[in-house]
Structure 1
Amino acid sequence: MTLVPPPFSLADVPHSPGCYLYKDSTGRIIYVGKAKDLRKRVSSYFQKRDHDPKTQKLVQTIADMEYIVTGTDEEAYLLEDSLIKRHHPKYNIDLRDAKSYAYIELTKEAFPRITIARKAKGAGQFFGPFVSGKERDYVLTVVKKTFRLRSCKSMPRNHRACLRFHIGNCTGPCAGHVTAEGYALQCSQAEAVLKGKTAELVSSLTAEMNRYAESMEFEAAMRCRDVITAVTHLASRQYVSRQKDYDEDVIHFIVSEGAVFLMVFHVYKGTLGGREEFIFEESDGFFEEFLVQFYSDHPAPREVIVPEAVDEGLALYLGSVAKRKVVVTVPKIGEKAKLLELAKKNIETVHFGDEIRVEELRKALHLADAPRVIECFDISHLSGTDTVASMVQFRNGRPDKKNYRRFRIKTVDGIDDFSSMAEVVRRRYSRLVSEEKELPDLILIDGGKGQLSSAKRVLDELEVDVPVISLAKSEEEVFVSGVPFPLPFGKKTRANMYLQEIRDEAHRFAVTYNRLLRKKRVCG
């Protein structure tokens, strides 16, 4: 298969979880996919050579692409499911007969049991949907074990406690080892966790643990401690389990340099289903004016979630247009506030992603000025032969390919990355200094402390006063000259991921040149 260049800029696609929507030349959505890293996943369609026939045809049909950033991988699963069911894309598997995501159910019984339900129907309480069987089973296991709830389908007639009671995973209601009130408390605590309302539960459990410890009831205190640990861990995992019987719109905006960047998220019965973007000039009262115009052409849902208060009469107007009550909500905490943040995150990613990551890098490195121009070096060879170096330049958060450079190492024999790095840094910046050309704001070296020291020594000799750092591949650790330990920001931060992207591009460019030289040498 011949590699097909994408009909859009991959530099516009972020390294974030989310969904991508491929469109044909008519603008029709022909494929919906999910990804932990949108840039890597979308790039793979146009870089692989071994696609199956169906995917080959899809790639040849793609004319445009849209993406929606989500907060977590789990949100991407739910969004993909919603988009596929809404648009029925040609190249997706037909899911009309597929089962929906499963729920966790607390049954309505004197002593409720916790179990899995395929549909949220019946008298019990349902939590979900969960995006995968693995995720659902994990939550079920932890909640069942933590709060010691029964899972047997029927209470044994002989009232003999089962093995789960004897190993401490159930309080044994079947054998009368717990009162109805005590078991109801277990269920209410489990319910709070499944709904995500963990802060008050952790607070009360902490107070209870302290009381047990003061009275020297250490076994009970340890039990509270274990529950707190499990609850806290579950609270850190987001499941997007919003069940609604009505639709919502979530609207957020950012104003920058006299322009308004606004996004509308459409949430269908609790699941994010799509978005619309708008850009217009800032003016007094622009937000309320937008709402009036937008909902004069679009049916208003039952609830509109917005970031700031609007005139009370606006909700009445929307209700009169929709011919039913419309509520305009300004949430401060909870699920709706998270949806607002998700809308804002998409605006930032789509329109300000490059600026944000440059600023995040400045903060992480404690630089006085934003590193708008970054140059990165990488060494590539095969067992010490055909040693080459690459230099890539990123400007304002994006690759500036016209300023890429590649070098054949001339003064080093065999494997010596330190000397090779010193040579290429000297060649690059001695020329810039002699020609009095612009220097970068930051220099990035691919490697650890050894490569960094080699580069810094050359820069000092040339009296080039530019910050220089290195990025070590093993743990993506960032080093600066003179500091023996890595800088304290993680590899999943926006700043570090930006450095990884630059380093990976330098590595790709170097490897490509090394292969070219080897091919010329072998083929003559």
Structure 2
Amino acid sequence: MIDTTIIPEEPGSYLFRDESGTVIYVGKAKNLRKRVQSYFKKKGLDPKTAVLVEAIRSVDFIATVNETEALILENTLIKRYQPKYNIDLKDAKSFAFIHISDNPFPRIGIARKMGMEGRYFGPFVSARERDRLLAMVKKIFGLRSCRRLPKRACLRYHIGTCPAPCIGKISEEAYAERVRQAEEVLKGRTKELIADLNDEMERLSGICEFESAILIRETICALEHLAGRRMAARKFASEGDVIQYRITGGEVFLLLFHQRNGTLVEKEEFRFNEAPGFLSEFLVQYYSDHEVPGEVILPETVDEAIAAYLAALRGKSVAITVPKQGAKRELLNLAAKNVDLTWFAGSERVKALRRALRLASDPEVIECFDISHLSGTAAVGGMVRFVGGKPDKRGYRRFSLKSAVGGDDPGSIREVVSRRYSRLIAEDGELPDLIVIDGGKAQLSAAYAELNKLDLNIPVIALAKREEEIYLPKLPYPLPVPSDDPASLLIQEIRDEAHRFAVSYNRIKRRKKVIP
């Protein structure tokens, strides 16, 4: 069962993955938790949605600032992953940009892709909003939209919406000033431009050039009307990566985001022990095996040699930016928010589990065992480790059963528990705060007996699959914990991961027997 309680109530995009980890559906939501929950609570789903829900094994998400950015992100993720259950639009177009060409008398128009020379602004989610903004900018500043300069003035000149550079009615310098002002508006700097125009209007009024002052006043009124409208997404000069992290308990929880058009479009998770200079070391190791972007946005400065190293890998310069304010700082703040949502949302489930099991402290480290075999053959054991409510895949372990007979699940559990904790004791390793057994009372009794032999006082429970019931040693009845309680959902997630891990190992063993 998918635990939706760890999904934040924030705007963003969500990704459904199947058993193999493949993205099968991408969606966006104003409230991620409510939207994802709707898939699992609705009755009478249409056949296609029912098949989708049946295939879902995990949910990932990226939080955004608002629903508009979530829509942009959804579009980007769909194009990247081409999920099986999303609508397949063969001729689907990306969100369009407003483009100003790089000519002596630049042209303004719409561009779907960023291939031509010039400046791009956007992208825009709403075609209506984009077209309205384009029309107003053309009208206010009189920029041409013709693809080639004609040899005589067109209708736009005669109705007063173009200064006719084609017949020399405006100088290149004067037209360039109009372009500069238009770019300020498209960058969202309307307030600064209005202030400059107010100064110019007062200057012209002071020297009695009232007609020119009136024209500027009309421009100011149009810009003030436009100022209330926002661009749909930020656009930086280059696309790159955003890195943010949090240090807790001597460990670094780091997320690397790939950002495109000012939006976080993909994240990678890393967790490692804190060490001096860990950020610089991470940059060196990661980019030695991955494509180096044109810009890396960081929360703190690193050694100057890192920029030179990355530039050498890329073959051209790389900007390492540590923003203190502005849009890039907002992007870094959004990345920090995702760090907390990704890594530390599980802490509430851990606390709920402590309360449900009446433990003395939070079970920060949980290990779960499962046995897998096919009619008693190729019997294996799998153990997964969760820390802070999240998988710690470095701690996963596989067991090829030696003494237990295939099909004897209690005996198999006894063997893997003995092997696991005998070794931890011998190596003075870190013991878990809670042990979970996939199975019923027989498997639980076997594990409990083996822990007693090792003189280990570690809480151990079992989760029976049929009713998702939680059993404790020496208690004849299951705990009264509803299957949809956050504590039960956490245990179910851990159990499901242990089952998946054990089954995958069982398949590997069977495949080796078939293929010599």
TM-score normalised by the chain length of structure 2: 0.57
Alpha-carbon deviation of 1:312? 1.9
The SS at the match of 1:229 is helix
Give the 5 Å matches for 1:278-289. Answer: 278-289=270-281
**287, 291, 299: which is aligned to 2:283?**
291
Which position in structure 2 is the counterpart of 1:431?
none
RMSD: 3.7
Change (3 A) 1:317 1:221: closer
* Residue 86 of structure 1 pairs with residue 86 of structure 2: no
* Residue 22 of structure 1 pairs with residue 16 of structure 2: yes
Long gaps (5+) in structure 2: 348-516
Which position in structure 1 is the counterpart of 2:218?
223
Which position in structure 1 is the counterpart of 2:177?
185
Change (3 A) 1:153 1:91: same
The SS at the match of 1:60 is helix
Which position in structure 2 is the counterpart of 1:232?
227
AA paired with 2:78? Answer: I
Long gaps (5+) in structure 1: 1-6, 356-524
Asked whether the 8 Å contact 2:123–2:261 carries over to 1, the reply is: no
The SS at the match of 1:315 is helix
Asked whether the 8 Å contact 2:109–2:145 carries over to 1, the reply is: yes
Change (3 A) 1:209 1:42: farther
Which position in structure 2 is the counterpart of 1:104?
98
Change (3 A) 1:158 1:285: closer
Larger Rg, first or second structure (1 or 2): 2
Between the two structures, name the one with larger relative contact order (CA 8 Å, sep ≥ 6): 2
Change (3 A) 1:134 1:45: farther
The SS at the match of 1:347 is helix
* Residue 71 of structure 1 pairs with residue 74 of structure 2: no
Change (3 A) 1:101 1:331: same
Give the 5 Å matches for 1:370-449. Answer: none
Q: Deviations over 1:53-88 (max 9, x none)?
A: 211110111111000012233432332232222222
The SS at the match of 1:237 is coil
Alpha-carbon deviation of 1:332? 3.4
* Residue 33 of structure 1 pairs with residue 41 of structure 2: no
Asked whether the 8 Å contact 2:125–2:232 carries over to 1, the reply is: no
Separation of aligned partners in 1, 2:243 and 2:46: 40
AA paired with 1:93? Answer: I
Alpha-carbon deviation of 1:306? 0.9
The SS at the match of 1:131 is coil
Q: Deviations over 1:437-463 (max 9, x none)?
A: xxxxxxxxxxxxxxxxxxxxxxxxxxx
Change (3 A) 1:160 1:88: closer
The SS at the match of 1:27 is coil
Alpha-carbon deviation of 1:243? 6.1
* Residue 254 of structure 1 pairs with residue 249 of structure 2: no
How many residues of Structure 1 are paired with residues of Structure 2 in the alignment?
345
The SS at the match of 2:306 is helix
Asked whether the 8 Å contact 1:130–1:241 carries over to 2, the reply is: no
Asked whether the 8 Å contact 2:63–2:338 carries over to 1, the reply is: yes
Give the 5 Å matches for 1:171-210. Answer: 171=163, 178-198=170-190, 200-210=192-202
AA paired with 1:31? Answer: Y
Separation of aligned partners in 2, 1:66 and 1:256: 22
The SS at the match of 1:130 is coil
* Residue 117 of structure 1 pairs with residue 143 of structure 2: no
TM-score normalised by the chain length of structure 1: 0.56
Separation of aligned partners in 2, 1:83 and 1:133: 20
* Residue 138 of structure 1 pairs with residue 146 of structure 2: no
Separation of aligned partners in 1, 2:50 and 2:122: 36
The SS at the match of 1:239 is coil
Change (3 A) 1:214 1:282: farther
Which position in structure 2 is the counterpart of 1:267?
259
